[in-house]
Amino acid sequence: MDYADGDKDDTNELSDLSLDGSNVLTLSNPATGGNSVDLSGLLGTDSQDLSLSGDELSLTGDPTATPIDLSGYLDNTDNQDASEVDSDTPVDVDGDGNTEATVEDVIQDIAPIISKAARIFYPPSIAIDASSNGTGRTLNLYSQYVAQYGSPAVASAGAPAAIPTYGPTELYYYITYADPTVFDNMVIDANGVLTYDIIGQPADYNALINVVFVVK
């Protein structure tokens, strides 16, 4: 009777469970060898069922069920930390020249990469009218982002119709550069609404403004 627990470590499995004519229960384990438990004082003469649930062995029938804790006989080491689980194929996750051999090593090396790079993205291109000067003009950067992501002009075969988007308060909004001869007094509120002044017209009809979104 094999009670394998499904992990990759076959040294902690209960490989055999047997009851001989003298009512001696023997448990075999590759790591601990054989262990025997004398059940003669617990068994009656009636038919009884023997069951194992976790580390607890139970006899059902007549007499009343008697549970026996087998944890002292079993080498149960299935609960493992990430540092104790080897990677199937150790790889250099972060490019530092060292391969990450355990799951914990991979987590520690990949977490900083994911937490930074994956949180930063550029919204789609947005046209701003700078043909005349003016103060207190507004542009909802978030609405522009949702409108273009929600209705892309073209999608690849099998792709969803809309690109997933974040909520307005799930993002931080930044202007990393704006042409200082064209834009002034730029302010962005928590919902992504940009307020700005136009103080001049671009000489080449192409004013530059770089917007960056960061996921909170």
Q: What is the DSSP string of 39-105?
A: -TTT--SS-EEEEEETTEEEEEESS----EE-TTTS-------GGGSEEEEEE-SSSSS--EEEHHH
Q: What is the pLDDT of residue 208?
A: 78
| pLDDT number for residue 49 | 66
Residue 103: what pLDDT?
80
Tokens of 170: 């799930």
Q: What's the CA gap between 120 and 115, in Å, rounded?
A: 9
User: Looking at residue 206, what is its pLDDT?
Assistant: 75
Query: What is the reported pLDDT for 63?
Result: 56
In this prediction, residue 102 carries a pLDDT of 85
β-sheet bridge partners, residue 38? 24
pLDDT at 2: 45
pTM given for the model: 0.51
Omega before residue 63 within 30° of 0, cis: yes
Which segments of the chain have a pLDDT < 50?
1-4
